[in-house]
Amino acid sequence: MAKAVLMQGNEAAVEGALAAGMRFFAGYPITPSTEIAEKCALRLPQVGGKFIQMEDELSSMAAILGASAAGYKTMTATSGPGFSLMQENLGYGMMAEIPCVIVNVQRAGPSTGLPTSPSQGDYMQARWGTHGDHPVIAFSPSSVLETYTLIIRAFNLSEKYRTPVIFLMDEIVGHMREGVVLPDPNKLKINPRKTSFHDGAHKKCYYVPEGAFVPSMKPFGQGERYNVTGLVHDESGFPVNNSAIADKLISRLLSKIDDHVDDIVRVEEYQMEDADTAIVCFGGTARAAMDAIEAARAQGMRVGMFRPITVWPFPEKPLKARLPQLKRILMVEHNHGQMLLEVRRAVSGAVPVDFLGRIDGTVISPAEILANLNEKEAN
């Protein structure tokens, strides 16, 4: 067995990204994500990759889209204020179907907020931050090892679905160090960039044949001349002002995710077999929930954890499958109740959904969760 190494969550994001084939990073320093930029600056040239510190987050997002169009697997990393600045070009990436990964190590907001304090307040922004109807894939890791393996999946799905993927970390996981045994790099499944057109004859870069759900594009400079735009475009990539084509394009952008939810969604269920109470949580919050569940079980409560690893699309189906056995759901998150809205929507009143959250920059402790469970049990 390989030796365990001490690694920080932010470092694991970089090492996982490199294992996934990321060779271009553009970013702007911001707490608590800065270690990611620093590590990329150190590691990328060692493997022939490129690192650039841009003048702001708007240009960082633009640069990774440009580099991706030139054939690279690309990434940027930021936190709340920078994530806000990236939203317009994030939408461009979705519209133009340019793969890339955006890491957001969340901190307490709004605005500059509490720069060094943990939060999960960007959950809804990850879904709805950019304007218009658009698809979103977002993952949230809860350990250092999962940061490594999950970011590889983020890159893989980004290529498979040709869309930016949001990697929603939090300060809890980003800044903690654990001993990890990384998987054998030769055994990792890596989706390579597709480098030919589906429609070789007509060179229609956005042509999607029967049975496929995304176009397949050659990078710039490989012998084809095509157009990319953020405007509504036809299969040849040129802007059109045609409602039928607009409907077809936007519908495909949405359905390429909606039709493959089962492929995209992953959840962790812990002690759920006999549970009548489910704690729903994601990211670093799960760590307090795990300890609380252990303590609650020791007191005889039947509590389990339902943890969306894929946070967008929200894992509606697996949660609904658990409803018949549940008396109660407790949503625990470091915000004022954001995933709570999705849980309540999915549950539609079938089971009471309570909420435990924090917006003060401090971490929800296992004792706090346990107290909440005890209080309900007593009632």
Partner 1 sequence: MPSDLIHEYMRIDHLPQIWCAGCGNGVIMRDVAVAIDQLLKDEEYDFDRDDFVIVSGIGCSSRAAGYLDFNSIHTTHGRAIAFATGIKFANPKLKVIVLTGDGDCSAIGGNHLIHAARRNLGLTVICFNNHIYGMTGGQYSPTTPNGDVAATAPYGNVDRPFDIALLATGAGASFSARGDVFHARETTEIIRKAILHDGFSLVDVYSICPTSYGRQNHKGSAVDMLQWQKENLIPTAQFHAMSEQARAGKKEIGILAFNDYPEYTDEYAKVIEACRKQTGGKGRN
Partner 2 sequence: MGNRYEMRLAGSGGQGVILASVILAEAAVDSGVTVIQSQSYGPEARGGVCRAELVLSRGTLWFPKVTRPDFLLALTQASLDKYGRELAEGAIVMVDDSLTVPEWLEGARLVPLPILGTARDAVGKLFTANVVAVGAINALLGLFDEKALLEGAMRRLPAGSEEINKSALAAGAALVSPELAAAFAQKIG
- For partner 2, the binding residues (CB under 8 A) are 4-6, 115-116, 172, 175-179, 284, 286-288, 290-291, 294-295, 363, 365-367
Angle at 342 between CA 292 and CA 309, to 5 degrees: 55
Sole binder of partner 1 in the list 63, 103, 319, 370 (CB under 8 A): 63
Closest separation in Å from C-beta 98 to partner 2? 35
User: Binding of partner 1 at residue 19 (CB under 8 A)?
Assistant: yes
Closest separation in Å from C-beta 238 to partner 1? 6
User: Would you give the end-to-end CA distance of the chain in angstroms?
Assistant: 49
Nearest to 333 by CA among 369, 302, 301, 367: 369
Structure tokens given for 118: 């943990």
User: Binding of partner 1 at residue 255 (CB under 8 A)?
Assistant: no
User: Binding of partner 1 at residue 221 (CB under 8 A)?
Assistant: yes
Binding-site partner at residue 337 among partner 2, partner 1, none, CB < 5 to 8 Å by type: none
Closest separation in Å from C-beta 379 to partner 1? 53
Q: CB within 8 A of 375, min separation 6: which ones?
A: none
Estimate to the nearest angstrom the gap between the alpha carbon of 171 and the chain centroid: 15
User: Binding of partner 1 at residue 67 (CB under 8 A)?
Assistant: yes
Binding-site partner at residue 64 among partner 2, partner 1, none, CB < 5 to 8 Å by type: partner 1
DSSP-assigned beta bridge partners for residue 22 = 73
Closest separation in Å from C-beta 190 to partner 1? 11
Instruction: Answer whether 189's CB lies under 8 Å from 127's CB.
Output: no
Instruction: Answer whether 37's CB lies under 8 Å from 75's CB.
Output: no
The site string for partner 1 over 93-132 (x = CB under 8 A, - otherwise) reads ---x------------------------------------
Which 233-252 positions form the footprint of partner 1 (CB under 8 A)? 238-239
Closest separation in Å from C-beta 226 to partner 1? 7
Structure tokens given for 14: 């970089």
Instruction: Answer whether 129's CB lies under 8 Å from 138's CB.
Output: no
Estimate to the nearest angstrom the gap between the alpha carbon of 347 and the chain centroid: 23
Sole binder of partner 1 in the list 33, 34, 59, 338 (CB under 8 A): 59
DSSP assignment string, 115-158: TTS---TTHHHHHHSSSSS---EEE---SHHHHHHHHHHHHHHH
Q: CB within 8 A of 263, min separation 6: which ones?
A: none
Q: Could you list the residues that contact partner 1 (CB under 8 A)?
A: 15, 18-19, 24, 26, 43, 45-48, 50, 52, 54-56, 58-60, 62-72, 74, 88-89, 92, 96, 185, 219-231, 238-239
